[in-house]
A = this chain, B = another copy of it.
């Protein structure tokens, strides 16, 4: 497929695995269209999402390396560049410095779509922290007066990807993205994350359930679709469009 030279997807992920479970389909679709895709992992999830490794007696440095390797492999399968900011997790500390590093990525990659966590997640404080920083950095990056390299950013649309316990996180899907054609790629990427095997099934089931809902909301196409797989997103800003659909 020819490269798409203008569209650019940026994904801000609190931990090394989040982008795979929650946005792997969106990433694969974007990459398949030849777009630039950049995943920013703020931490490796070394403390909060690596229980298995800790129980096996592994040490911090080892666990970080492990998670990094897995995440890099998953990003490779999906077709994305990946950057690790190694800011620490549990808690993921919010700081002007970390936000500034995100501004730099915004200015460099000039995303036309941004994906990140929800602003509410009562099961994981790092997720909202990541979302707050991603949103704040996006605003700063738009200001010509903000002191960072690169051109001021346009105002790209932002979407929250789906948290682990949707209803408790005030996640009411605004968008159902059809990922049927790239679902095998997402499945393969999830398989790169050995540390969280129990998640594989969970997110395969979720994709099927969101697929059923996609079919039920697909309007005139209802009845034509079969075995759809979908990811759900919540939109942060109004959708600018020339055609209602």
Contact = CB atoms under 8 A, between A and B. Distances in A.
A206 B202 CA distance: 11
A22 B190 CA distance: 31
Contacts of A170: 172
A214 B155 CA distance: 11
B145 A46 contact: yes
Number of copies: 6
A50 interface: yes
A222 B175 CA distance: 23
A143 B48 contact: yes
Given A91-B140, A123-B139, A155-B219, A145 B50 contact: yes
A54 B221 CA distance: 21
B176 A241 contact: yes
A223 B172 contact: no
A101 interface: no
A93 B90 contact: no
Interface of A: 6, 26, 29-30, 33, 46-48, 50-51, 54-55, 63, 90-91, 93, 96, 99, 110, 112-113, 115, 122-125, 135-136, 139-140, 143-147, 154-157, 159, 165-168, 170-178, 202, 205-206, 208-209, 212-214, 216-223, 232-233, 235-245
6 contacts: A154-B222, A159-B244, A167-B171, A175-B244, A177-B241, A235-B239
